[in-house]
């Protein structure tokens, strides 16, 4: 049985805390074997800070499954992580990046079945020359570099209650309309439909596409983008055989009756997607990257420096991410 590869994330954040807690709850939640790519000494120190009895086993990926029942397996890297809880230091960015690179390499090489990433601090990475806007874009670059295959990564936030995809992600709101194109919506919709079918086992995924403007533009009275960009994109997706509807007024898309009519909502910008799912599933939503040649999930929260090392961080979203990664990596497709 191939284990899952879990990244360290930002060493000063809650990633180490929730990883230790998830291992302690492995039997309760039926978690599959996983290992952490990172600094075992950092995890040992954090376990002492949290007063958690978590033995650490230094292993190769191939040994992780056998070690998992008795200890948290860690694939040690040559990059130390020395940050104290809540206080990133000069090792934070190199340790986080090394962990991601090693975990991705293990999954691509078949040493691990899927990738689960702990939260990183973008500001810390940016100060150290990180060029990508975020985790998702960096993973797409690594996939292209390590496989030679094109990768169009799409971020989906998934929970049993709701799945959402922001078409534009980390943009200031004032830039969204200028960066939104029909081509971008179509490319995103293609990836979503393909992966929901291939990985989630949905024969014909139903996509609900939100309008950009209030009331989906009111036929141009509140902006032309929905008539000139969103509607043509939906028509193009439908012409390709994708079950897409829209543009729909975003303010009526997320109540219970509306959600029963689709499998995923495509939103035009970050908060249009993340506000409803974080309202409905704050503790257990999972970030899933579609369009990669491997399965990647992540907790749907940040580094939470203010509670790192305090014992107050909940591992619920990480546990959900580990469970979903194992399901999606299984040989047979599963239903969402």
Q: Single out the residue in 280, 305, 328 at which a domain terminates.
A: 280
State whether 221 and 188 are in the same domain.
yes
Is the domain of 85 the same as that of 201?
no
Q: What's the CATH number where 121 sits?
A: 3.40.718.10
Do 2 and 61 sit in the same domain of this protein? yes
Residue-wise pLDDT tens digits, 80-113: 999 999 999 999 999 999 999 999 999 999 999 9
How confident is the model at residue 132, as a pLDDT?
83
User: Do 182 and 81 belong to one domain?
Assistant: no
* pLDDT interval class at 335 (50, 70, 90): very low
State the pTM of this model: 0.91
Do 132 and 53 fall into the same domain?
A: yes
> What is the average pLDDT across 52-60?
98
Mean of per-residue pLDDT scores for the chain: 94
Label residue 131 by pLDDT band (50, 70, 90). Answer: confident
Do 67 and 181 fall within a single domain?
Answer: no
Predicted confidence (pLDDT) per residue in 248-301, tens digit: 999 999 999 999 999 999 999 999 999 999 999 988 999 999 999 999 999 989
Does 244 share its domain with 168? yes
Split into its structural domains, the chain has a count of 2
Residues 139 and 173 grouped into a single domain: no
* Domain-embedded: residue 174: yes
List of residues 6+ apart from 38 with CB closer than 8 A: 7, 8, 11, 74, 75, 76, 77, 81, 95, 98, 99
Question: If you average pLDDT over residues 224-232, what whole number do you get?
Answer: 96
Q: Average pLDDT, stretch 232-253?
A: 98
Q: Please check whether residues 55 and 131 belong to one and the same domain.
A: yes
Co-location of 222 and 103 in the same domain: no
Residue ranges making up the domain that contains 218: 161-280
Domain end among 280, 300, 316: 280
- Residue 285 falls within a domain, yes or no? no
Please say which residue of 280, 310, 325 terminates a domain.
Answer: 280
Q: What is the pLDDT of residue 331?
A: 60
């Amino acid at each position: 049985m191939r284990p899952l590869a879990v990244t360290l994330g930002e060493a000063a954040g809650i990633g180490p805390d929730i990883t230790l807690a998830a291992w302690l709850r492995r039997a309760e939640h039926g978690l599959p074997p996983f290992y952490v790519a990172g600094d075992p000494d950092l995890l040992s120190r954090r376990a002492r800070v949290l007063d958690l009895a978590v033995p650490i086993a230094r292993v190769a990926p191939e040994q992780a499954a056998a070690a998992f029942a008795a200890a948290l397996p860690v694939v040690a890297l040559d990059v130390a992580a020395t940050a104290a809880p809540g206080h990133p230091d000069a090792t934070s960015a190199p340790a986080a990046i090394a962990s991601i690179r090693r975990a991705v390499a293990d999954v691509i090489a078949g040493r691990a079945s899927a990738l689960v990433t702990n939260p990183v601090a973008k500001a810390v990475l940016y100060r150290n020359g990180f060029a990508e806007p975020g985790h998702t874009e960096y993973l797409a670059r690594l996939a292209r570099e390590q496989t030679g295959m094109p990768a169009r990564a799409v971020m989906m936030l998934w929970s049993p209650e709701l799945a959402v995809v922001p078409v534009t992600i980390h943009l200031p709101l004032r830039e969204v309309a200028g960066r939104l194109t029909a081509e971008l919506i179509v490319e995103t919709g293609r990836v979503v439909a393909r992966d929901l079918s291939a990985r989630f086992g949905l024969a014909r995924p139903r996509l609900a596409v939100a309008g950009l403007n209030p009331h989906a533009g009111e036929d141009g009275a509140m902006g032309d983008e929905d008539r000139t960009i969103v509607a043509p994109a939906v028509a193009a997706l439908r012409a390709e055989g994708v079950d897409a509807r829209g543009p729909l007024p975003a303010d009526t898309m997320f109540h219970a009756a509306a959600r029963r009519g689709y499998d995923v909502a495509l939103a035009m910008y970050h908060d249009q997607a993340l506000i409803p799912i974080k309202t409905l599933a704050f503790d257990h939503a999972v970030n899933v990257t579609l369009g990669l040649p491997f399965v990647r999930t992540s907790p749907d929260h940040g580094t939470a420096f203010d509670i790192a090392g305090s014992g107050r961080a909940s591992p619920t979203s990480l546990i959900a991410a580990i469970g979903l990664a194992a399901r999606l990596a299984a040989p047979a497709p599963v239903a969402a």
